[in-house]
Chain A
Amino acid sequence: DIQMTQSPSSVSASVGDSVTITCRTTHNVNGYLNWYLQKPGKAPKLLIYAASILQSGVPSRFSGSGSGTHFTLTISSLRPEDFATYYCQQTYSSPRTFGPGTTIDIK
């Protein structure tokens, strides 16, 4: 299985801050990397797929980049609704593993 790590595991930030989350995979996933946001008690919501493509309806303050085994999600100017947990997922090989998550909370 491809293993996933995310850093940091949590970060405290303020509205308006820029935050970058890193996701690393144990094998090259050839850009098959997705990002989701999850709020407590809710299902995950797709933000970005194929490493850098913004899902329809997702604000442009979210951006993704990376290749190989190293990927990043950047939120350029945090809004109150962005305080949540973020997960990366590789879909290059089965099983399609998720990362352990990064929680952004209010400083």
Chain B
Amino acid sequence: EVQLVQSGAEVKKPGESLTISCKTAGYDFYIYWVGWVRQLPGRGPEWMGVIYPRDSDTIYNPSFQGQVTISFDRSTGTAYLQWSSLRASDSAMYYCARQLNGYNYVPYFDSWGQGTLVTVSS
């Protein structure tokens, strides 16, 4: 069974650093992209970026480029999303998801983590 299990909720202050994780299981993680999605309260999902674990090739949404770092640890099959200096506007739910390429190579997220709630407040 494909599983993506995310780390728990975080409460941080502005300016602090943070790394949240997404542990993959039940599939060959080398060959599937893993992505991160932000969802602000009451809003639609926002695609942040994806990483290819085999070679760590990463594609960022320009809106998030430079604001976060996406990485993957092949020794543990875990994806990470990292902030060096949080802002209150980073408060949101964050999801990781596995990307498949289906018919006509159309990419889609078929399996999702349960989400990690990040709260940034002074």
Residues on A facing B (Cβ under 8 Å): 31-32, 34, 36, 43-46, 49-50, 53, 55, 87, 89, 91, 94-101
Contacts and interface: CB of A to CB of B under 8 A. Distances in A.
Contact of B47 (A46, A53, A55, A89): A89
Interface of B: 37, 43-47, 59, 61-63, 95, 97, 102-104, 106-110, 112-115
Nearest to A91: B107
Contacts of A45: 112
Contact of B62 (A87, A95, A101): A95
Contacts of A98: 44-47
B112 A43 contact: yes
B103 A95 contact: no
A32 B62 contact: no
Contacts of B112: 43-45
Nearest to B107: A91
13 contacts: A31-B104, A32-B106, A43-B114, A43-B115, A44-B45, A50-B104, A53-B103, A89-B47, A91-B106, A91-B108, A95-B61, A98-B47, A101-B44
